[in-house]
Amino acid sequence: MRISIRFVSILLLGLAPGLASAQTAYPNKPIRLILPFPAGGGPDVIMRRTGNDLQPRLGQPLVIENRPGGNFVIGAEACARAAPDGYTLCHINSTQMSVNPHVMAKLSYDVEKDFRPITNLYALVSGVFVSAALPPNNFREFEAYVRSHPGGINFSTHGASTPTDIYRQWLNAKWKTDMVGIGYKDGTAMISALLAGDVHFVWIGFFNALGQIQAKKVKMLGISSARRYPTFPDVPTFAEIGLAEAPMTSWQGLAAPGGTPDAVIRRINGEVVKLFREPAFGEFLVTQGVDNMAGTPDEFADYIKQDRAQAADVVRAFNIPRQ
């Protein structure tokens, strides 16, 4: 039996919207999240919980791919080279997007072209720590201790020209001291070095040392929250100990490779922001020692530009050379 070409064309036209919808439904397979931190650390814990809570909303799992190392360049490169199809998301941070462009001579990614901001996620609530074995019990005593040990105090950092190393240089300039920077890959390694006596001072997100604080193996001399933290009411804020004007903010956000479609950006932003604003998830973030910063893609893009400009000012102020 013959079927006219015209009839077949009409039939296909009628089916076309449904076929197109089936082909473009997003997401229809697992989504990869490139995380520039090792497994087990604070960002890893937060993003795995985020992925678990997003799965029923997206209908697909968020698969964490840990890519630590190299001033977070390894993770940024992996994101910049990924297909912009919505199936790769990128956990980005202030080092990658704000500091590296000013301190690395040959940066292997373009912060403007290779990423599409989705949302800011959170800022670390930082603490300043010394070993319980050291004499100082407050920040002023520690300052005096540093002054009395010229050239003998090691300050842990994420490596040369990272925000933690900028903090070291800023504090040295403020105190007119010469604390030595020692690089470590993450906060867990820094705390281990503090306990071993390899370093004397650590400035990181306080969640990295929760167990050691509770076991009284380390002393937290200050915390970056605006008010005293409920969990540590006896620990003074940075403002109280004279660190309110410290440079840089250690923020963490979500992006996609450059060229990712607007529809993907809107979908992921909507689901993540909705999740981050739920009370139960907000309480979880507090337990992880971070401040919620979720918002719109445009707000995040503006924030990154402003933070990068501030980083340029800091780099110039301390004459930090390009590596």
CATH number of 31-123+249-317: 3.40.190.150
Chain segment 168-199, per-residue pLDDT in tens: 999 999 999 999 999 998 888 999 999 999 99
CB contact at 8 A, 77 and 50: no
**How do strand 202-205 and strand 290-292 relate by DSSP bridges?**
unpaired
d(CA 158, CA 162): 6
More confident residue, 280 or 17: 280
At residue 264, does pLDDT exceed 90? yes
What pLDDT sits at residue 317?
A: 85
Confidence of residue 11 (pLDDT cuts 50, 70, 90): very low
User: What confidence tier does 225 reach under pLDDT thresholds 50, 70, 90?
Assistant: confident
| Greatest C-alpha distance within the chain | 100
For the segment 47-68, the average pLDDT, to the nearest whole number, is 97
CB-based contact 154:201 (threshold 8 Å): yes
pLDDT, residue 300, reads 98
Please determine whether the domains at 31-123+249-317 and 126-241 fall in the same fold group of CATH: yes
Percent of the chain with pLDDT over 90: 68
pLDDT tier at 307, thresholds 50, 70, 90? very high
Q: 115-132 pLDDT, tens per residue?
A: 999 999 999 889 999 999
Query: Given this model, what pLDDT does residue 245 score?
Result: 84
List of E strands, the chain: 31-35, 62-66, 88-93, 115-124, 126-131, 154-157, 180-183, 202-205, 218-223, 251-257, 290-292
DSSP assignment of 67-89, as one string? ---TTTHHHHHHHHTS-SSSSEE
- The whole-number average pLDDT for the span 289-301 is 95
Q: What is the mean pLDDT of residues 285-293?
A: 89
Q: What is the mean pLDDT of the chain?
A: 90
Instruction: Determine what percent of the chain is predicted with pLDDT higher than 70.
Output: 93
CATH class of segment(s) 126-241 = alpha beta
Residue 18 pLDDT greater than 60, yes or no: no
- pLDDT band, very low/low/confident/very high, at 320 (cuts 50, 70, 90): confident
Q: Alpha-carbon distance 276 to 280, whole Å?
A: 9
What's the confidence (pLDDT) of residue 1?
Answer: 43
Domain ranges of the chain: 31-123+249-317, 126-241
CA distance 288 to 268: 22
**The pLDDT of residue 24:** 59
Question: Which distant-in-sequence residues (6+ apart) come within 8 Å of 323 by Cβ?
Answer: 103, 104, 105, 160, 161
For residue 7, the model assigns a pLDDT of: 46
Choice between 38 and 156, residue whose per-residue pLDDT is larger: 156
Specify the pLDDT at position 304. 97
